[in-house]
Chain A
Amino acid sequence: MKKYTIMLACLILIGLSACNNAAEKEPAPAENSTEAASTAGGQEAVKDDDSAKDVVKVAVGSKDHSTLVAALKAADLVTSLSNAGPFTVFAPTNAAFDKLPAGTVDGLLKPAAKEDLQNILQYHVAVATMKAESFTDGQVLGMVNGDNVTLSVKDGKVMLNGTATIIASIPASNGIIHVIDGVLLPPAKK
């Protein structure tokens, strides 16, 4: 009988330690975080393969945007962009990121550069759904980071800050993605 008791105790211990391990591995639910946007409050974890895709899911599904997606994750912006929006996201392609000086992207993806990365990425997002054909020459857009982007429209081509051109537009459930061929850099802080 004693033998069984010991065995039982062992099994329970194993069971419990499994619990503890699981609990330890689980990241604290953002309750101690006072940095930027939290990682646990959004709809990105909602299991739903039926609804139209939001801007994040569209970006994730694009081979040409793996750098952008990695950057959004590093900047904790997946939550916000999975929410209701509406968003206009100017999404630089991988090739656009590759045009930046060597090492720039790797540097921005480091935890220490998180705030800079957030600032740059938020400079690519406006709260409103704006179709490419609605843009007008000289239009100024207020971006999420607080800075403005100026548009020029010539021969049907929409250019942002004179540095990046919209090459495709993809509607999403919570807004629209305009694929651009350059990375927008926010004006230097005053």
Chain B
Amino acid sequence: MKRITISLAVIAVIAMLLPSCKPKNAGTAVSSGAAEKAFVAPGKYDEFYNFVSGGFSGQMSVYGLPSGRLLRVIPIFSVDPEKGYGYSEETKPMLNTSHGFVPWDDQHHTELSQTNGEIDGRWIFANANNTPRVARVDLTTFRTAEIIELPNSAGNHSSPFITENTEYVVAGTRFSVPPDDANGDVPINTYKQNFKGYISFISVGKEDGKMDIAFQLKCPGVNFDLSHAGKGKSHGWFFFSCYNTEQASTLLEVNASQRDKDFIMAVNWKKAEEYLKAGKGRKQSVKYAHNVYDEKSHTATSEIRTEVTVLDASELKDICYMIPCPKSPHGCDVDPTGEYIVGSGKLAALVPVFSFTKMQKAIADKAYDGDYEGIPVIKYEAALHGEVKKPGLGPLHTEFDGKGNAYTTFFVSSEVVKWSIADLKVLDRVPTYYSVGHLCIPGGDTRKPNAKYLIAYNKITKDRYLPTGPELAQSAQLYDISGDKMQLILDFPTIGEPHYAQAVAASLIRDKSVKFFKIDENTNPYVSKGEGATKVVREGNKVHVYMTCIRSHFSPDNIEGIKAGEEVYFHVTNLEQDWDVPHGFAIKGADNAELLIMPGETQTLKWVADKPGIYPFYCTDFCSALHQEMSGYLRVSPPGSNVPLLFSTGKNIAKADSTAAK
């Protein structure tokens, strides 16, 4: 009997093992050792930061690689009630535009600042696609430091790519539109006469990173899609892909796909600088917002600017050149040497690679095929290094490993293809799950790629994760590319829709991270530098509450004498000077959000007392063992009430209880 029992047990064990032996379907197949490669032990740091655009979330997310752990979501172009971004009085000006306060945008591309063509770890730039803007995020605080709006633009897509010393960040308009100083009230079918494409060159302060529109280029009315700067030998040039050179304004799905070739537009920005200096620019009257966040006052200011200098690319002949590129080019990527420019026509059956040297010669020889609205069109063959034949279907974007190889994503055939730049031969291909858009190699668009990993950002997830109803997380897939063959090692969900992303060795940023803000340096006009400085001040219909918080109480925590209808401004200063001790502030009935106040920082919540009653407020971020005690009450009386304005902490105790309280 015993023997039978044991045998049965053994069979049962084997039976349990067997299901794991069934052939893996292709969709889940991952080669051995993958888990180990992506494993970062609890408590250990990741090797890379990965800054991923959030698409229609408007934000940027930060992941650790190779673990795929989400480290932070940086609010940039959309309000974030979780952090009070866009809700606090201090941050509201960040989202100001010429259209007023805009609480949302579509964030597509991220670009780390560079010095000598290498990532320097100071800032990361982000574009807003819908209401055209560029933001700069400070990588010591991981917060949005500055946002600049772009006039004469609509759909800021070919942005925020930078030159190799971060001299400029560019912004090319995806939608050509009538210029801001022209009458835009024109029939849509007058596109060819009235619509123009503007490209902005935004200068970046060498030390402080401050952005300013140095000049704009007025170009033909096409759709500028993506761009990359020249580097090394091609430093001084910028390359933009253009589609809809047909200039269609309806059913672009068909009508913008008519021509066999559109263009890569090469821009000699050093030449543009010369013309600018020579006074060839035209001052144009426009309106755009420039918003700056000051980390000393913890306050943003917004200024509306009214002028921009425009250089006309069809009049100033030697700034721009068109290079024919097959079938609606999307990605426009420059290899680490600066010699090769890869144009990926999303409907093309091949990937052309252009040579900077040959392009220069073609310009010198005037090897042109006429012009496009006054801009010389270089002969395709004259600029061509060669074509990658039959690489896959639907090429989109390319990054580089610095070892002579390029990696291109193919949306239609859902794969990443590795190919050799020198001989244009396909070396390897891996599937993505599913329908890859952008890809990222750390430093993969710089002069010095750090090509250990490649991350593919996919548009479609379907069955990759447990289903969550009709709306699914989008996915990133991590490949080890240290060997000859790419190996899928991890698959992780992302926020919003990831478009372009960048990654950098953590060591370049990690040690510069700010732990808290020094309270002594806080210049916010409503700061309370200590509980003794707290007060409540009435100014007409407004009441300013100067409040502090520290483990584990607010000061004041009892406030009386507020009248219904009054606007109350809670200026809350976090007195902590310790790492990772933010306090939150929320009050019942607030119609905006909470505040999340970092140590040493002051933030302000506007709240309107709508009717008489008692309104509790409390700390929303679990800060100590007595976090639940960190709370207070505010009393609202009817308008015309004679309840005096009183505020206190620990003193407002009924007489009968006062002895017990000793």
Contacts and interface: CB of A to CB of B under 8 A. Distances in A.
Interface of A: 4, 7-8, 11-12, 14-15, 18-19, 22-23, 25-27, 29-34, 36-43, 45-48, 79-80, 83-86, 115, 118, 122, 127-130, 134, 140, 142, 144-146, 148
Contact of B435 (A39, A83, A140): A83
Contacts of A128: 253-254, 257
Contacts, number: 145
Contact of A34 (B3, B427, B433, B462): B427
Contacts of A86: 253
Interface stretch (B135-143, B386-394, B508-516): B386-394
Contacts of A85: 412
Question: Which 8 pairs from chain A and chain B are nearest by CB?
Answer: A41-B431, A146-B349, A40-B26, A29-B29, A19-B21, A41-B414, A37-B413, A15-B14
Given A46-B463, A80-B413, A7 B10 contact: yes
Given A34-B428, A41-B431, A42-B414, A22 B21 contact: yes
Given A38-B429, A84-B459, A79 B414 contact: yes
Task: Bin chain B's interface residue count.
Answer: 35 or more
B481 to A, nearest CB: 12
A85 B460 CA distance: 12
Contacts of B21: 15, 18-19, 22-23
29 contacts: A4-B3, A7-B7, A11-B11, A19-B17, A26-B23, A29-B29, A29-B31, A29-B431, A30-B431, A38-B429, A38-B431, A40-B26, A40-B27, A41-B433, A43-B414, A43-B462, A46-B27, A46-B463, A79-B431, A83-B411, A84-B460, A86-B253, A122-B393, A127-B346, A127-B347, A134-B254, A144-B347, A144-B393, A146-B349
Contacts of A25: 23
Contact of B412 (A8, A31, A80): A80
B254 A130 contact: yes
B348 interface: yes
A144 B394 CA distance: 9
A34 B426 contact: yes
Contacts of A146: 326, 348-350
Interface of B: 3, 6-7, 10-11, 14, 17-18, 20-27, 29, 31, 253-254, 257-258, 260, 326-327, 346-350, 390, 392-394, 411-415, 426-435, 459-460, 462-463, 485-487
Given A45-B27, A134-B254, A14 B431 contact: no
A43 B225 CA distance: 27
A45 B430 contact: no
Given A127-B347, A130-B254, 12 more contacts: A29-B431, A30-B430, A31-B485, A34-B427, A34-B428, A36-B392, A42-B414, A42-B431, A80-B412, A83-B414, A84-B411, A140-B258
Contact of A22 (B23, B393, B414, B435): B23
A11 B10 contact: yes
Contact of A83 (B22, B23, B412, B487): B412
A46 B462 contact: yes
Nearest to A84: B435
Contacts of B459: 84
Contact of B434 (A36, A43, A148): A43
